[in-house]
């Protein structure tokens, strides 16, 4: 018997926890947390453990496919890799000659391995690398940039050492990052307080010291009232504010009218409970964390909810503090050299970004790194600022990730080449011209990645087993294209082995690939470093009012606007994740499907009664345009009466997914024209600005 344990990185969601994979005679027999990784405690979440369900499932693309029917018709020709890569390379070359290199758009899921796709796009000569994030955390990212001058991940959430954590629109125990869950539970054991602010009682609410159930969309009013109390009662860290916070007096003046009594009328949360909570929260400062949120593509003011969350952390002196939000260290902060960026092997493309991020009117404040992919889609449709004709959706399913898939599809009509690189079927792959099936994370290695934090590190994903089907690793796919395109600049990516890329990445770092053998990662520091504060804002301080936002006519602190109540008989659609599935791409996983085959519709008890709906009745949920579907009602008093809630990712329709097909409802279908509703401040899509009807179908 041949038995081994391979260090990998979980690929069942975007968090990418360090994993160890048991392999017996070339077969994966178990997947665990990397035993050497702090905070993982040797165990992954349920989805991580269900990796074999993905690997050993035959219902995924098994060979490259080229479309023969109309887009979306599902008629394919199975081809060998040579033909598929020749086809894509020929088309790309042709489009490049006709429209210039900027006619290529690639979007992916961001994260630690994006350097490869980003490098490919740059090497091709296009500025149009985008990620998925306008449907996820762009509002948080831009909030952080506007206040601190750095991205959201440059502030660590030091949960393990925290004394009071506030989860606002953050379901940390179901929308999982394993280390964060463990750290928070450890902190709770050590006496850390927990406050949850949500529109329904989620799992963290059941463990909370304070739970505020808000009217959906009123978080900004709540936060302004919190700041009001902090300032009125002088609960802020005076020394920290004097030293680090710019524009405090303006803030004070702005929040004066937003009393807890004002907020109570808006949010429904009692003014006295708010005061009691704020006083307790301030007592634990500076070891406090007001979570700035993650999936915040919800409302037209979500950006400002994130901004006020960060402002509260700043007033508490939590920025930089142990148990608060210390600054993440990079290799350079601990006297080491970081991984060489593959992207930097290529010159900056000449053309400006098609989505306008960083340069167009109203968009100068947006982070040009991954841009705003929905605006890049608009560029495809309008040819403004120039034609975009080739699109590679790499590990990205915009038809599940953005509202109103029909209107998203329409934006792609002019594409001359549409490629999906994926390891499961998705609506997006189904609508592509070419499907390039990627090996699952267990069947491939990845480029090296680094992780900032209190102890920065480099980490490695090894190949645990050989691919079961005719699939390839991402680096093999892009190397194959680089070899065929005949673009001299792309030569550094045209490799034959992953080692060539690893060596290039490690150049000058003093670390060798052999150093990863012992643990799967290499730590660059022996102990956590809480580095001294410094901010890349114009003043070098924490700026509550941003000139950058001013320039784009985005107010730093706009007056609160009360969200509309749902029209009579309707509900506001809200959504989130569950512990057992990842977005839309695990619903067909045999192991996870068995545990949770469909989603349900959370519905307030009183409202349900008025509609004659009982717990677990079959109901129909529909958008004003009539789109929607049928699912079971989960009747509960623990959701705000204005909202219905459902877990995202269900409602699959593809014939190639026998399990998921026809089970549950897709929230994205309930948001007509939602792709055009996005926030000019934070860039996020406003997905919860839609109302739906609910009607009983049968018991
Ligand atoms: N209405 C509504 N919309 C939402 C959300 C919601 O809750 N409600 N959630 C939003 C959030 S938070 C996010 S992050 C996005 C997520 O949506 P997406 O950004 O599209 O991400 P995923 O669904 O994780 O994965 C996309 C595709 O990549 C494939 N894939 C996964 N891993 C790999 C891999 O390692 N390699 C390759 N090549 N392919 C892979 C999957 O099979 C899937 O088909 O959706 C957003 N959209
Ligand atoms: N199991 C699992 N874990 C995941 C993922 C997954 O798909 N599955 N995806 C990963 C990704 S990509 C992301 S972005 C994160 C997302 O992590 P989170 O942002 O925490 O995820 P959600 O579950 O979408 O939403 C969190 C909470 O917001 C609440 N909420 C909805 N509307 C409002 C509102 O108006 N106000 C307030 N205060 N609360 C509201 C919901 O009820 C929910 O409890 O999770 C990551 N981890
Ligand atoms: S949170 Fe779960 S699914 Fe996501 S990477 Fe970690 S173990 Fe895997
Ligand atoms: Mo996300």
H/E segment holding residue 76: strand 76-78
DSSP 667-687: GGGGSTTGGG-B-TTT--B-T
Q: Is the CB of 577 under 6 A from ligand 3?
A: no
Main-chain dihedrals φ then ψ at residue 629, nearest 5 degrees: 175, -170
pLDDT in tens, 164-210: 999 999 999 999 999 999 999 999 999 999 999 999 999 999 999 99
* 545/552 Cα distance (integer angstroms): 13
Query: Ligand 3 centroid vs 260 CA: distance in angstroms?
Result: 39
pLDDT in tens, 611-633: 999 999 999 999 999 999 999 99
Q: In the numeric block, which tokens belong to residue 656?
A: 């190639």
What is the pLDDT of the chain when averaged over all its residues?
A: 97
- Report the pLDDT value the prediction gives residue 33, as an integer from 0 to 100: 98
Where would I find the H helices in 416-554?
427-430, 474-485, 498-506, 547-551
Regarding beta strands 245-246 and 193-198, do their DSSP bridges make them parallel or antiparallel, or are they unpaired?
unpaired
Q: 616: left (phi > 0), else alpha (psi -120 to 50), else beta?
A: left
Atom from ligand 2 closest to the CA of residue 294: 19
Look-up of token digits 């710019």: 246
Where would I find the H helices in 552-684?
590-595, 605-610
Query: Ligand 4 centroid vs 287 CA: distance in angstroms?
Result: 26
- Report the pLDDT value the prediction gives residue 510, as an integer from 0 to 100: 96
* 587/580 Cα distance (integer angstroms): 9
CA 103 to mean position of chain CA atoms? 26
pLDDT in tens, 68-99: 999 999 999 999 999 999 999 999 999 999 99
H/E segment holding residue 31: strand 27-33
- Report the pLDDT value the prediction gives residue 109, as an integer from 0 to 100: 94
User: Looking at domain 157-326, does it have CATH number 3.90.45.10?
Assistant: no
Angle formed at CA 387 by CA 381 and CA 388, multiple of 5 degrees: 75
pLDDT in tens, 580-596: 999 999 999 999 999 99
Regarding beta strands 210-213 and 193-198, do their DSSP bridges make them parallel or antiparallel, or are they unpaired?
parallel
Pocket probe mutation, ligand 2, options 176, 217, 305, 576, max atoms within 8 Å of Cβ: 576
pLDDT at 140 over 90: yes
Query: Ligand 2 centroid vs 225 CA: distance in angstroms?
Result: 24
* 64/442 Cα distance (integer angstroms): 19
β-bridge mates for residue 193, sequence order = 164
DSSP 192-218: -EEEEEESB--HHHHT-SEEEEPPTT-
**Dihedral sign, Cα of residue 120, residue 676, residue 666, residue 14:** positive
Q: In the numeric block, which tokens belong to residue 112?
A: 């630690």
pLDDT at 515 over 90: yes
Give the three-class secondary structure for 250: helix
Half-sphere exposure of residue 579: CA atoms within 13 angstroms, side-chain side: 13
pLDDT in tens, 246-294: 999 999 999 999 999 999 999 999 999 999 999 999 999 999 999 999 9
Question: Domain 571-696 - what CATH class?
Answer: mainly beta
How far are the Cα atoms of 242, 527, 570, 645, 655 from residue 608, in angstroms, in the given order? 52, 54, 12, 13, 34
Main-chain dihedrals φ then ψ at residue 272, nearest 5 degrees: -70, -35
Yes or no: say if 16 and 111 are a contact pair by the CB < 8 Å rule. yes
Q: Which ligand is nearest to the CA of 300?
A: 2
Confidence of residue 699 (pLDDT cuts 50, 70, 90): confident
Q: In the numeric block, which tokens belong to residue 235?
A: 């609960």
For ligand 2, residues with CB inside 6 Å are 13-15, 47, 136-137, 168-171, 174-176, 197-200, 202, 214, 216-217, 219, 294-295, 298, 574, 576-577, 579, 581-583, 645, 688
CATH of domain 3-55: 2.20.25.90
pLDDT at 698 over 90: no
- Report the pLDDT value the prediction gives residue 307, as an integer from 0 to 100: 98
Look-up of token digits 């004002």: 262
Residue from 14, 8, 7, 10 nearest 111 by CA: 14
Pocket probe mutation, ligand 2, options 395, 577, 643, 645, max atoms within 8 Å of Cβ: 577
For the chain, which residues make up each domain, given as ranges? 3-55, 157-326, 571-696
Residue of the CA atom closest to atom 29 of ligand 2: 169
């Amino acid at each position: 018997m041949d038995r081994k344990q391979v260090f990998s990185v979980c690929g069942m969601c975007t968090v990418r926890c360090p994993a160890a994979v048991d392999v017996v005679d070339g077969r994966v027999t178990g997947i665990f947390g990397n035993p050497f990784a702090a905070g993982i405690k040797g165990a992954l979440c349920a989805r991580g453990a269900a990796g074999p369900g993905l690997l050993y499932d035959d219902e995924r693309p098994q060979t490259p496919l080229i479309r023969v029917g109309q887009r979306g018709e599902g008629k394919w020709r199975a081809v060998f890799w040579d033909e598929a890569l020749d086809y894509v390379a020929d088309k790309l070359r042709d489009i490049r000659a006709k429209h210039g290199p900027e006619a290529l758009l690639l979007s992916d899921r961001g994260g630690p391995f994006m350097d490869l796709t980003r490098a490919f796009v740059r090497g091709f000569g296009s500025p149009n690398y985008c990620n998925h994030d306008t449907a996820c955390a762009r509002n948080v990212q831009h909030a952080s940039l506007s206040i601190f001058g750095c991205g959201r991940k440059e502030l660590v959430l030091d949960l393990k050492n925290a004394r009071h954590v506030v989860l606002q629109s953050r379901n940390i125990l179901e929308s999982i990052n394993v280390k964060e869950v463990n750290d928070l539970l450890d902190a709770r054991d050590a006496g850390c307080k927990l406050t949850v602010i949500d529109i329904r009682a989620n799992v963290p609410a059941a463990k909370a010291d304070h739970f505020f159930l808000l009217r959906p969309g009123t978080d900004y009013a709540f936060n302004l009232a919190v700041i009001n109390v902090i300032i009125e009662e002088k609960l802020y860290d005076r020394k920290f504010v004097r030293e680090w916070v710019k524009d405090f007096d303006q803030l004070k003046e702005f929040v004066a009218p937003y009393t807890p009594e004002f907020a109570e009328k808006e949010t429904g949360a009692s003014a006295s409970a708010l005061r009691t909570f704020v006083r307790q929260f301030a007592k634990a400062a500076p070891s406090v964390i007001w979570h700035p949120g993650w999936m915040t593509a919800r409302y037209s003011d979500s950006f400002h909810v994130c901004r006020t969350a960060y402002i509260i952390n700043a007033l508490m002196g939590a920025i930089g503090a142990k148990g608060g939000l210390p600054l993440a260290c990079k290799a350079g902060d601990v006297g080491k050299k970081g991984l060489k960026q593959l992207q930097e092997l290529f010159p900056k493309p000449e053309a400006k970004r098609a989505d306008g991020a960083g340069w167009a009117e109203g968009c100068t404040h947006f982070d040009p790194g991954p841009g705003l992919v929905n605006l890049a889609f608009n560029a495809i449709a309008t040819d403004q600022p120039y034609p975009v004709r080739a699109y590679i959706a790499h590990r990205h399913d915009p038809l599940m990730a953005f509202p109103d898939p029909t209107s998203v599809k329409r934006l792609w009509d002019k594409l001359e080449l549409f490629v999906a690189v994926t390891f499961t079927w998705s609506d997006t792959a189904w609508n592509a011209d070419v499907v390039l099936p990627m090996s699952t994370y267990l069947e491939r290695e990845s480029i090296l990645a680094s992780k900032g934090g209190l102890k920065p590190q480099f980490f490695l994903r090894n190949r645990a087993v050989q691919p079961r089907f005719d699939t390839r690793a991402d680096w093999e796919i892009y190397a194959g294209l680089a070899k065929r395109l005949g673009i001299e600049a792309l030569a550094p990516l045209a490799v034959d082995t992953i080692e060539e890329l690893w060596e290039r990445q490690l150049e000058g770092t003093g670390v060798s690939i052999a150093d990863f053998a012992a643990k799967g990662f290499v730590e660059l520091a022996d102990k956590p470093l809480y580095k001294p504060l410094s901010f890349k804002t114009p003043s070098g301080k924490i700026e509550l009012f941003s000139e950058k936002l001013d320039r784009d006519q985005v107010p730093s602190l706009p007056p609160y606007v009360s969200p509309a109540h749902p029209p009579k008989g309707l509900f506001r659609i809200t959504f989130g994740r569950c512990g057992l599935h990842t977005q839309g791409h695990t619903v067909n996983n045999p192991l996870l499907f068995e545990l949770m085959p469909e989603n349900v519709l959370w519905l307030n008890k009183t409202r349900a009664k008025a509609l004659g709906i009982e717990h677990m009745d079959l109901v129909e949920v529909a958008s004003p345009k009539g789109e929607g579907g049928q699912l079971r009602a989960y009747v509960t008093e623990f959701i705000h009466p204005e909202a219905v809630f459902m877990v995202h990712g269900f409602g699959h329709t593809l014939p190639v997914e026998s399990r998921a097909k026809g089970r549950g409802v897709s929230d994205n279908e309930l948001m007509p024209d939602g792709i055009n509703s996005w926030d000019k401040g934070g860039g996020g899509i406003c997905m919860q600005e839609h109302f739906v009807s609910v009607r009983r179908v049968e018991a």
